Amino acid sequence: MPGRGCYQLLVSLNEPRWVSVGRLGMFALPAGLYVYTGSASRGLDARIARHMRKEKKLRWHIDYLLRQAEIVEVRRVETEERIECEMNRQVLARPGASVVVPGFGSSDCRCPSHLVYLGELRHETANS
């Protein structure tokens, strides 16, 4: 199916914030860089474009964070394979990576979270 795949958003939160994440509740998020891993069964480009918009109905966990944070980079992988959790595990395996909001974006899998905190890294360092 065209437009199917996974994506990762590198998200910057400039200062510590309390963020309400739908039914998950309120969380204290430290300033720094985060990676959110998601998928789209169709319309990968449309899903990413939706995330980039500031004005939208709050539907997914990431929508709540993006009200207060900025997307600084997008990685997209067009594929028929379900690789979202594997991509997420690779980010979680990075030195210093941690889960700040358990269950974020991972209600349909066994991952601890699809939002991974990388720490207060510079943007260039986050890609290496």
Q: Which of 51, 48, 45 is nearest to 2 (CA)?
A: 45
| C-alpha torsion angle, residues 104, 120, 98, 23 (rounded to 10) | -20
- pLDDT given at position 100: 95
In percent, the amount of the chain with pLDDT more than 90 equals 82
Does the pLDDT at position 120 exceed 90? no
Burial of 50 (0-12, 13-18, 19+ CB in 10 A): middle
State the pTM of this model. Answer: 0.90
pLDDT tens-digit profile of 23-50? Answer: 899 999 999 999 999 999 889 999 999 9
115: domain range?
5-126
How many structural domains are present in the chain?
1
